[in-house]
Structure 1
Amino acid sequence: MIRLILTVSSFIYAVLQRYAPTNIVLGRIRQRRGLKWGIPAMLLAAPYIVLAHWCSSAIGDGAPGWFNLVVLLCVWNALKFIAIGPISVALLSRARYRERIEGREAATESKSLPIGNRSLVRGS
């Protein structure tokens, strides 16, 4: 029984990672080229918060109970977009630090090579 539950939950996770729009956007932001968009992506939380507020007030006015699921989904997506801002800043600073270290190592390595071998390192 536990194996079945684990298999089904893994399948659902894989499908959501591949096809859910917010997961696609967050996946692209976590890549090196997209890290600069983490802070602006936090603004995408605002429509989700507005929609959650609208649905919760509609529930209070007598809307169907399944609107609670919409509220839950909107709040979850808003939290994901709010969290990606600081996470992307940390990942971007770590990536830039690594690139700086690699650049220093490459510069040191090219300086230590004999003059005849420098063209091989640069690719010329």
Structure 2
Amino acid sequence: MLIRPLWTLSVRDRALLRRWMPTNILLDSLRTRRGLKWGVPAMGLGLVYLLIAAGSITLIDGGWSQGLYIVFALCLWNALKFLLFGLISLPLLARARVREHRAKRDLQRSSADAVAA
């Protein structure tokens, strides 16, 4: 009875986050065929987020507000998203290039057969 409203709320939250959060927008554009080649360089952005997370923990230990734990959590989450996507993008890019090569080869074979006939 309580699961359905929670499920609906989580679906709406996910749609909102995918539409309006900058890192999600960037990751969606990187998941396209044209964006896959930028997967490994995007890992650099993940490292920047990791450094910001480490800096926020250092500031908290130095006596700053504990509200920086929110910054730490967001930066750590974004760092993991970019670092993992960089690793995942390599096999996805290889698979896309193999498909494109096969399609090009098949097109060349079919056009050569049509000319020969």
Query: How high is the TM-score relative to the length of structure 1?
Result: 0.86
Q: In the alignment, what sits opposite 2:15? A: 14
Identity among equivalent pairs (%): 42
Q: Which moved more, 1:32-41 or 1:53-62?
A: 53-62
2-structure distance, mates of 1:44, 1:114: 50
1-structure distance, mates of 2:77, 2:6: 23
Q: Are positions 1:61 and 2:62 aligned together?
A: yes
Q: In the alignment, what sits opposite 2:30? A: 29
Query: How high is the TM-score relative to the length of structure 2?
Result: 0.91
Matched positions, count: 116
Q: Which 4+ residue blocks in structure 1 deviate beyond 4 angstroms?
A: none
Say which one has the larger Rg. 1
1:37-80 Cα shifts (integer Å, max 9, x gaps): 11111100122112111211122223232221211110110111
Q: CA RMSD in A?
A: 1.5
The aligned amino acid for 2:67 is W
1-structure distance, mates of 2:66, 2:6: 27
2-structure distance, mates of 1:104, 1:110: 10
Q: In the alignment, what sits opposite 2:114? A: 113
2-structure distance, mates of 1:92, 1:98: 10
Q: Which consecutive residues of structure 2, in runs of 5 or more, have no partner in the other structure?
A: none
Q: Are positions 1:97 and 2:98 aligned together?
A: yes
